[in-house]
Amino acid sequence: MNVRVLTEEDVNDFRELRLKGLKTDSSAFGSTYERENNFTTEKFRQRLESSDSKFVVGGFCDEKLVCIATFIRNSGQKDKHKSMLVGMYCEKEYRGTGIAKGVVELILEKARNIEGLEIINLMVVSENLRAKTLYESFCFKKYGTEPKVMFDGLKYYDEDLMYLEF
């Protein structure tokens, strides 16, 4: 298992895994496979441009990218002490192996070293108990539930709002 910040050289693997997540676990994302499948490679490459304010972490098993998550720091003058963990996806067959834990660990390690950053927020589908348990293992706390955040044409999904304060 290897966990690291993704670079622009990872764009094809990142695109493939992101689209797979949107297709196989659509209820976990606000975006859709149909929308992002039309994005250019350049658009995915731009997502991989790293800074202290934004980076994507990937987890690899035998050199195959199997888990991703994105860190984004808020940029406003009054909210730059906050950030978001978004776009978390781990291939089904690698869940429970510790690779997702490694991805979150690296995000938190890097985030703790960002001057002035105090809080990481995230949103997780309320029914996704495995993901909520992962976040709780890092001491993320639930502070609310937003009802009917997403609708896939058949079902509404609520999301739990969670935060971690350094």
Closest of 43, 87, 51 to residue 69, by C-alpha: 87
Closest of 80, 69, 141, 140 to residue 114, by C-alpha: 80
Q: What residue segments make up the domains of the chain, in order of their start? A: 2-165
pLDDT per position as a tens digit, 149-158: 999 999 999 9
pLDDT band at 166 (very low <50, low <70, confident <90, very high): very high
Task: Give the pLDDT score at 40.
Answer: 96
Closest of 115, 102, 12, 119 to residue 59, by C-alpha: 102
Return d(Cα 36, Cα 59) in angstroms, integer: 21
pLDDT per position as a tens digit, 64-104: 999 999 999 999 999 999 999 999 999 999 999 999 999 99
Q: The whole model's pTM is what?
A: 0.95
- CATH code, residues 2-165: 3.40.630.30
Token match 């510790």: residue? Answer: 98
The values of phi and psi at residue 3, to 5°, are -125, 130
pLDDT per position as a tens digit, 31-62: 999 999 999 999 999 999 999 899 999 999 99
